[in-house]
Amino acid sequence: MAGIVVLTGAGISAESGIRTFRASDGLWEDHRVEDVATPEGFAADRARVQSFYDERRRAARAAQPNAAHHALAELEARHPGEVLIVTQNIDGLHERAGSARVVHIHGEVDRAWCTTCDERMPCPGDLAAEPPCPRCGARSLRPDVVWFGEPVYALDEIYDAVSLCRWFWVVGTSGAVTPAASLVAVAREAGARTALLNLDAHDDTSMFDDVVLGPATTVVPPWVARF
């Protein structure tokens, strides 16, 4: 149970130097989403997808959490047990900022999944080298991330938390991808007060009681300081 649920997306990590997806300089400008973020793309060219995520893993490890990540971690420290972060990001920056209650709806780039024995584990290194699974020995590790057409992680836990929260904030996401983008409707239905903190407004902001526009490092710290 958490009074405050925060849904985060690529925009919260942009000022840590992690590329977003849908901006003019975003990842989808250089890579076709069908090629690198679908099971079909992986089946068609395993090496390309492994290299794409190996590079993203290196970028995530090299990045540092920014003031927005830290502000959310400090909020949780002030209200233990009352804050849940649901992040679409695979970069691990919330945990590195000190947040303890983080659900990764789209997985984590630093983890690997063996599609032979179903074991999930810390990523043992670059997956383009096709290292053997430490448990079963098969060379069938993939990044433990969620691609289009695959079921997202922990959805029951997320729905339970969102259905009971008093505050639901959306930070740094375009709201283009479901089911994450639909959570605000669940929160509203449950009577939560909703807020969007983003660089620019969504096409439809009617689901939000408050809309605060600006870079995450500028708008998130003063917003959370009020709680």
Q: Under the rule (CB under 6 A), what is the footprint of ligand BJW?
A: 9-11, 14-15, 20-23, 26, 37, 88, 90, 106, 145-152, 172-174, 176-179, 198-200, 215-216
Nearer Cβ to ligand BJW (140/205): 205
Nearer Cβ to ligand BJW (80/149): 149
Residue partners of 28: CB distance under 8 A and separation at least 6: 21, 22
Catalytic residue among 69, 94, 106, 202: 106
* Alpha helix (H) residue ranges in the chain: 10-14, 27-30, 33-36, 39-44, 46-62, 67-78, 93-97, 155-164, 183-189, 216-225
**Least distance from C-beta 170 to ligand BJW, angstroms?**
9
Six-digit token pair at 160? 């339970």
Nearer Cβ to ligand BJW (82/143): 143
Q: 208-216: which pairs have CB atoms within 8 A and are 24 or more residues apart?
A: 208/170, 208/184, 215/14, 215/15, 216/11, 216/12, 216/14, 216/15, 216/66, 216/67, 216/68, 216/171, 216/172
**Least distance from C-beta 64 to ligand BJW, angstroms?**
15
**Least distance from C-beta 90 to ligand BJW, angstroms?**
4
* Catalytic residue check, 106: yes
**Least distance from C-beta 85 to ligand BJW, angstroms?**
13
Nearer Cβ to ligand BJW (115/135): 115
Six-digit token pair at 177? 């991808």
Catalytic residues, by residue number, are: 106
